[in-house]
C-alpha cells in the first residue's frame, strides 16, 4: 500500500513537474484542446437548439380520434384515460361537439351561410392526441394507431403521415450530420493533441533515456506523461466551456432578435450540465489518449 501510495504520489508530482517545467508547451496543449473542443461544443449547442426548435414544431403533430356519437360522458372519460396510457402519448385533450363547432365558426368567418339551415350540430367530438417526442416517427405513429384501433368508442382516426415522416427525417438528418462532424472534430483534436504532446515527449527524450537507465519500467516512465496529458486535457475542456459560455452570452442578444423575427418564438438555451461535463471528460480523454499515442510513436523511433 505504501509502495503504491509512493508510486501514485511520484506520478502526480512528476506530472505537475512536467507541466511547470515546460509552461509554454503546456499552455499550447491546453489552448489547442480548448479551441478544438470549443468547436465541438459550439456544434453541440447549435444542434441541441435546432432539435429544440424542431421539437416545438413536433408538438403540432396531432392524431385526431373522432368519437362515436352515442358515447356517454362516463364512457368518454374512461376512453380519455385509456388513450392517455397508450404507447407514445404525451397529452390528450377532449374536444367536445360544441367546441368543434365553435372552431369551425371561427375558421370559416365570412362563410356563415354554410351553417345556415342546420338544425343540429353535425360535428363529432374528438380527442386531440399529442405524441411524445420519441414517438414522432412513422413507426411510433403506427404503433399508436394500432393501439387506438383496438379501443372501442372511436369512429375514425385522422393523422398526417407525411408531416411525421418529414419531421423524423429532418431530425435524423441533423443527428447524423451532428455525429459525423463530431467524430471528425474529435479525430482532428486527437491528432493535434498527440502532435503537441509528442513535442513535449521529444523535448524530454533525454530524461526518458535516463529513467530507463536507472531501471524505470514502462509504466514508471509513461504514466506521468499520461497524467500530464489528462490534466492538460481537463484544463482544455474547462477552457472550452468557459469560451463557449462567453461567446453564447455575447452573441445571445443579436441571435434572439433574429430568431424571433424569423420564427416568432425560440429562445436559445446553453448546453446542459451533462454536455459541460462531457466536454471536460472528453478533454481529459483526448489529452490522455494523445499522450499515449505520442509515447507509442516515441518508443518506436
Partner 1 sequence: MRSRGVDPAHPGGGALVRLFHVSKSYLAGSWALRDVSVELGKGEFVFLTGPSGAGKTTLMKLVFAAERPSEGQIIVLGRNVGRLGPSGIPALRRRIGVVFQDFKLLPRRTVEENVALALEVLGTPRRQVRSKVFGMLKRVGLQHRRFHHPLSLSGGEQQRLAIARALVNEPEILLADEPTGNLDAELTLEIMDLLVSAATRGTAVFVATHDAVLIERYGKRTVRLEDGRIVEDNPGARGLP
What residue ranges bind partner 1 (CB under 8 A)? 2-7, 9-10, 17, 21, 207, 209-218, 220
- By the 8 A CB rule, do 51 and 269 touch? no
Between residues 47 and 221, which has the closer beta carbon with respect to partner 1?
221
The neighbouring-strand residues paired with 62 are: 130
- By the 8 A CB rule, do 232 and 30 touch? yes
Measured in degrees and rounded to the nearest 5, phi and psi for residue 120 equal -135, 160
Please, what is the minimum distance in Å from the beta carbon of residue 249 to partner 1?
Answer: 41
- How far is the C-alpha of 268 from the C-alpha of 253, rounded, in Å? 10
Please, what is the minimum distance in Å from the beta carbon of residue 8 to partner 1?
Answer: 10
Between residues 3 and 74, which has the closer beta carbon with respect to partner 1?
3
Please, what is the minimum distance in Å from the beta carbon of residue 10 to partner 1?
Answer: 5
Between residues 99 and 297, which has the closer beta carbon with respect to partner 1?
297
Residues in the chain, overall count: 301
- How far is the C-alpha of 256 from the C-alpha of 270, rounded, in Å? 13
Give the DSSP per-residue string, 197-247.
HHHHHHHTHHHHHHHHHTT--HHHHHHHHHHHHHHHHHHHHHHHHHHHHHH
- By the 8 A CB rule, do 226 and 291 touch? yes
Please, what is the minimum distance in Å from the beta carbon of residue 19 to partner 1?
Answer: 12
Between residues 113 and 301, which has the closer beta carbon with respect to partner 1?
301
Please, what is the minimum distance in Å from the beta carbon of residue 296 to partner 1?
Answer: 14
Please, what is the minimum distance in Å from the beta carbon of residue 30 to partner 1?
Answer: 20
Between residues 5 and 264, which has the closer beta carbon with respect to partner 1?
5
- By the 8 A CB rule, do 174 and 55 touch? no
Amino acid at each position: 500500500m505504501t509502495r503504491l501510495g509512493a508510486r501514485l504520489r511520484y506520478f502526480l508530482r512528476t506530472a505537475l513537474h512536467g507541466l511547470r517545467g515546460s509552461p509554454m508547451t503546456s499552455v499550447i496543449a491546453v489552448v489547442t484542446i480548448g479551441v478544438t473542443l470549443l468547436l465541438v461544443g459550439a456544434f453541440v449547442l447549435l444542434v441541441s437548439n435546432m432539435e429544440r426548435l424542431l421539437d416545438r414544431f413536433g408538438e403540432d403533430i396531432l392524431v385526431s380520434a373522432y368519437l362515436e356519437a352515442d358515447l356517454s360522458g362516463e364512457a368518454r372519460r374512461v376512453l380519455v384515460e385509456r388513450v392517455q396510457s397508450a404507447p407514445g402519448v404525451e397529452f390528450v385533450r377532449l374536444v367536445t361537439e360544441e367546441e368543434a363547432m365553435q372552431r369551425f365558426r371561427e375558421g370559416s368567418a365570412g362563410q356563415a351561410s354554410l351553417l345556415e339551415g342546420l338544425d343540429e350540430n353535425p360535428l363529432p367530438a374528438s380527442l386531440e392526441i399529442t405524441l411524445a417526442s420519441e414517438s414522432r416517427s412513422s413507426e411510433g405513429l403506427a404503433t399508436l394507431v394500432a393501439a387506438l384501433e383496438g379501443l372501442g368508442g372511436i369512429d375514425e382516426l385522422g393523422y398526417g403521415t407525411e408531416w411525421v415522416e418529414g419531421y423524423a427525417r429532418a431530425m435524423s438528418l441533423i443527428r447524423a450530420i451532428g455525429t459525423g462532424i463530431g467524430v471528425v472534430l474529435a479525430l482532428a483534436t486527437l491528432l493535434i493533441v498527440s502532435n503537441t504532446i509528442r513535442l513535449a515527449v521529444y523535448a524530454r527524450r533525454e530524461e526518458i533515456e535516463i529513467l530507463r537507465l536507472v531501471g524505470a519500467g514502462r509504466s514508471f516512465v509513461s504514466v506521468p506523461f499520461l497524467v500530464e496529458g489528462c490534466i492538460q486535457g481537463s484544463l482544455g475542456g474547462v477552457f472550452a466551456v468557459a469560451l463557449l459560455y462567453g461567446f453564447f452570452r455575447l452573441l445571445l442578444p443579436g441571435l434572439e432578435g433574429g430568431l424571433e423575427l424569423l420564427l416568432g418564438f425560440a429562445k436559445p438555451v446553453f448546453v446542459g450540465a451533462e454536455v459541460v461535463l462531457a466536454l471536460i471528460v472528453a478533454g481529459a480523454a483526448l489529452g490522455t489518449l494523445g499522450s499515449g499515442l505520442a509515447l507509442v510513436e516515441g518508443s518506436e523511433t
